[in-house]
Amino acid sequence: MSAIGKFLASTAATLAMGVAGLTATAPVHAQQAPQVYCASNDNRFARCQVPWRDAALMQQMSKTRCIRGQTWGFDRNSIWVDKGCRGQFGPAFGGPSYGGPGPGRPPGWGATQQLRCESRGGNRQLCRVNLDRNDSVRIVNRLSGADCREGRSWGWNRDGIWVDQGCRADFVIERLR
């Protein structure tokens, strides 16, 4: 056997022993969800692409408050920030964009509710539903030709979901119990 062959055989044997040792003795640690830094520098609007269905603010990095629907939001697989909001963002509830309700959801993951909310004649409309800060709201079906952009033509607060500027859509509310 050549020197290269002996080296490769020795390396493979060492790796096999190391992997066997790791699987037998290494502790299992929870995998940390990926995070993305997104910043509104000089109070300018910015967008950061992510592969998630929804995002959560993990850590605010600015003096300006980062408020979902006002200074940051999520639409079309991207986080948008504005008016000086800077922060670390991660997937909402730890789920990747391709993930369903399976792994990655925390214990106590609750029910979903669907609601249609429509801005008629371009006017602002509040569709009343009790929402909690731990709830997640997203569009599942846009019904209008008008753009539905979170923080601009739709948003939510504890009183419900609001739409404006002709936005009409079906929304899903995911609740933690």
Burial of 98 (0-12, 13-18, 19+ CB in 10 A): exposed
**177, pLDDT greater than 80:** no
Domain residue extents for the chain = 30-98, 108-177
Q: How is residue 125 written in tokens?
A: 């409309």
Cβ 30 vs Cβ 54: under 8 Å: no
Q: How many CB atoms lie within 10 A of CB 93?
A: 20
Range name among 17-31, 72-86, 129-143, 144-158 with the lowest pLDDT average: 17-31
pLDDT, greater one: 144 or 52: 144
Range name among 5-19, 63-77, 111-125 with the lowest pLDDT average: 5-19
**56, pLDDT greater than 70:** yes
